[in-house]
A and B are shown apart, each in its own frame.
Chain A
Amino acid sequence: MNELVERTLAEASELVARREVSAVELTQAVLQQIAETEPVVSAFAHLFPDAALDEARTLDRELAHGRLRGVLHGVPIGVKDIVYMRGVPTDAGSRALTGFVPDYDATIVRKLRDAGAVIVGKTVTHEFAWGVNVPVTRSPWRDGWYPGGSSAGSGVAVSVRSAFGAIGTDTGGSIRIPAAVNGLVGLKPTFGRVSRHGIIPLSWSLDHPGALTRTVADNAILLQVLAGHDPADLGSIDEPLADYRAQLESGVDDSVIGVERDHYFYSGVIEDVRAAVEAVIDEYASLGARIVEVQLPAFAAMPSALLTILLAEASAFHRRLFRERALDYDPATRLLLELGELVPATHYVTGLRARTLLRDRVKNLFRAHGLDALISPTIPLPTVPNEQRNQPRDGGETAFTAYVHHTFPANLLGLPALSVPCGLTSDGLPIGFQLLGRPFAEATIFRLARAYERNHSWPALRPPVLQDLGS
């Protein structure tokens, strides 16, 4: 393994900007890491080693002439394979799209390129990001266990140092779940903060693009690049951009952090996860935050409201392709698309009305207690064996439904939610906690997350597969 891949995105960016390392050297190091790890983890659906090296050479020439494109100049990045890149395959993990090559870049791909990123490949996704089939990507933490999803490849690529950061999308938890099970930082930004133009939709009103990284600062850097109003996305919102790194080291001050226990600490939360997140809460208190116990019975309604909207919107998007290519879809995805066809319009509208009501209830909760964030486990349990993901556990719920029990509310509410590593279970599997913030308050949850992160060495966590490979 080339030691360069152990650097964080922020460090790699600075090394290139200071000309201590060239974009070509950095890209070669990542391509070597990909060559070593891909046979084991299959994080990438498509790789572009030649194009990446060509781009790196161009970036080095530009820098030699004094032009630094941006904060990602020469930094290798992965992009989820539902995001359009001009001239390269985008099959969204589905045989139904095999051979599809977009003729334009998604807005976020253009922004990455404008900032100098070197896109090394497209990362594996669950089919069309629905999150129900078993992806080809393998967990670097435990072979045969769930790698997270739907941004499975993005999470694993960053975990095994095959990219300094990777783009994911999150409709019901698809950034935060792979972040949590791979020991990474993952942000689902506020709805409307990052453009979806050029991203294959799963649900127009619930999709959120974002990034997975090893550190909070790296994630803040990527949000700075990705964020901004885009008229080409009807969901995009024209709100001023914050400087997401400016307050990172400012600590928790007198921040107010809420703890809601009926939903987020229900009986499905396993003991190791519960203990790890309680320790984080205690640490925030010791750092000077005010911890407030809050209650909001409305959380219980959020999963069903979200699922109603998601089922209907996903099936509406797939309506034509599904009729033409149904047999090319994975049976698990197909089942959900069939289900979505059965959601009555009246239920869909009821789901949208519930969404408005629940958004207002959460707004009132934050305002009543002066909350800066709500803290919870990102997901109630760590990764599980692939074959157990959809098997009922105690109480009848599956691991999949337990995961989304925790992640769905942020999508329904459109609020920013950040998953941050906070330890390992007794048998060595990553645990994450989630900070749910106010609308467009990503800078606040980054700051709170960094106040915790800087006292720990979780960003240096290395999955066992790297040791197995001698990396």
Chain B
Amino acid sequence: MSYLAGDGGEIGGAELALLARLVGMPLPEEDVAALGSALLAQLGAIEQLDQLDLEHVQPALRFDPRWDE
């Protein structure tokens, strides 16, 4: 579960207000609940990746320094 989430798994208005302030985004009160749910779903999806054993796995990104590609 996300560090942002409270005991009930919800993301509270205070945390969202803080995040919104950090990124400079206006956040109307009526949007808090929907945004909280969406954010929690997104964080949940990311945390699902933590269940994979990636310890010795290199990411599928590759930089090529050559000039004649």
Contact = CB atoms under 8 A, between A and B. Distances in A.
B61 interface: yes
Name the interface size band of chain A: 20 to 34
Interface string B53-69: 01100111111111100
A447 interface: no
A414 B60 CA distance: 18
Contacts of B59: 204, 313, 316
B31 interface: no
B50 interface: yes
Interface residues of B, number: 13
A201 B65 CA distance: 19
A393 interface: no
Contacts of B65: 190-192, 237, 359, 413-415, 439
Nearest to B57: A234
A235 interface: yes
A468 B7 CA distance: 62
A440 B63 contact: no
Interface in B1-59: 50, 54-55, 58-59
Contact of B63 (A205, A233, A316): A205
Contacts of B58: 201, 204, 233-235
Contact of A439 (B54, B61, B66): B66
A442 to B, nearest CB: 12
A205 B64 CA distance: 9
30 contacts: A191-B63, A191-B64, A204-B58, A204-B59, A205-B61, A205-B62, A205-B63, A234-B58, A234-B62, A235-B58, A237-B64, A237-B65, A239-B66, A313-B59, A319-B50, A320-B50, A320-B54, A352-B61, A359-B65, A359-B67, A363-B67, A366-B67, A367-B67, A413-B65, A414-B64, A414-B65, A415-B65, A438-B67, A439-B67, A440-B66
Interface of A: 190-192, 201, 204-205, 233-235, 237, 239, 313, 316, 319-320, 352, 355, 359, 363, 366-367, 413-415, 438-440
Closest 7 CB pairs of A and B: A414-B65, A363-B67, A234-B58, A205-B63, A191-B65, A439-B65, A439-B66
